[in-house]
Structure 1
Amino acid sequence: MTAEQKDNQSTRAPALAQDLRALLSKLKRRLREQGNMGDLTPSQVSVLLRLEKNGPATAAGLARAEGIRPQSMGPVIAALEGAGLVSGAPDPHDGRQTLLSLTDACRTWAQEKRAAKQDWLTRTIQARLSPQEQDELAASVELLKRLVGD
């Protein structure tokens, strides 16, 4: 490899990283628009995703996982309970604590939001990319998986 090629590679990676970060942020915004999360705050969405991924948890456990004070988690949980998205039940191992979990209505709502995002992205890929470009996109997705270790 020549010195010129090394220079190109050393300047190309930071430019690619910047472009990729900006593009992924824009894609995330577009997907968020399609999913229309309503009036939920980022903290509320984060708690719902954590409960979905990890299962029931206490408010204190959620606060630790989110890196906030337990007192700050109270209003987040209250809003989610008020919206019918989470419910609490006594912890079977420690009745003094309440385990929070997603309601069936929340699970249905989340599935509908994901389906809307998937539908938008599918339609957009089909409408804007030729079959050859879709193959190129598939190859790019494989490279992105390598970047994140999947």
Structure 2
Amino acid sequence: MDIPSDESSLAHAFALAAELRGLVGRLKRRLREQAGGGDLTPSQVSVLLRLEQEGRATTSSLARAEGMRPQSMAAVIAALESANLVSGAPDPADGRQTLLSLTEACRQRIQEGRAARQDWLSRRLQARLSSDEMELLATAVGLLKRIADD
């Protein structure tokens, strides 16, 4: 693939990157509004996503993974426990430790939030784009995947 490297194409790529970053941020905010999870902090959301993706974990392992002090993570976990989003159980390998996991209520909340975002975005695409524009967007999504993948 031949990628031009002159100054004007670099300036164009810079401007396009700034516009794309802003647009992705706006789209993220709109999607977040649809899920109704606005009462959670970014740290709480990050912990919930990590537990969903990676499974049970201790407070200390979550703190390391999130780059936080264990005391700060303990506060995040306490808030999530009081909201009935995570629960702890003794680690079968080391009873001194507690393994945290998502509650069924949390799993349902995550699923409902994703469904709401998917529904909103699907309806928005259908209402605002022609079939030709949908095909163009599909091509753009493929390009964005190529940018995002390692």
Separation in 2 of the partners of 1:38 and 1:136?
32
Identical amino acids, percent of aligned pairs: 66
Please report the TM-score for the alignment, with normalisation by the length of structure 2: 0.94
Q: CA RMSD in A?
A: 1.5
Separation in 2 of the partners of 1:109 and 1:71?
27
Which SS does the other structure have where 1:100 is aligned?
strand
Mapping 1:60-139, distance limit 5 Å: 60-139=60-139
Structure 1 gap segments, 5+ residues each: none
Runs of 4+ in 1 over 6 A off after TM superposition: none
Correspondence 1:30 to 2:30: yes
Which SS does the other structure have where 1:56 is aligned?
coil
Correspondence 1:143 to 2:146: no
Please give the per-residue CA displacement for 1:98-142, whole angstroms capped at 9, x wherever unaligned. 000001111011000000000000000000000000000000000
Separation in 2 of the partners of 1:38 and 1:103?
19
Separation in 2 of the partners of 1:39 and 1:6?
47
Please report the TM-score for the alignment, with normalisation by the length of structure 1: 0.94
Q: Tell me what 1:6 maps to.
A: 6
Correspondence 1:53 to 2:53: yes
Aligned length: 147
In the TM superposition, residue 38 of structure 1 has moved relative to its aligned partner by 3.7
Separation in 1 of the partners of 2:112 and 2:8?
45
Contact 2:63–2:70 under 8 Å retained in 1: yes
Which SS does the other structure have where 1:99 is aligned?
strand
Please give the per-residue CA displacement for 1:2-42, whole angstroms capped at 9, x wherever unaligned. xxx93431211101110110000000000001111041111
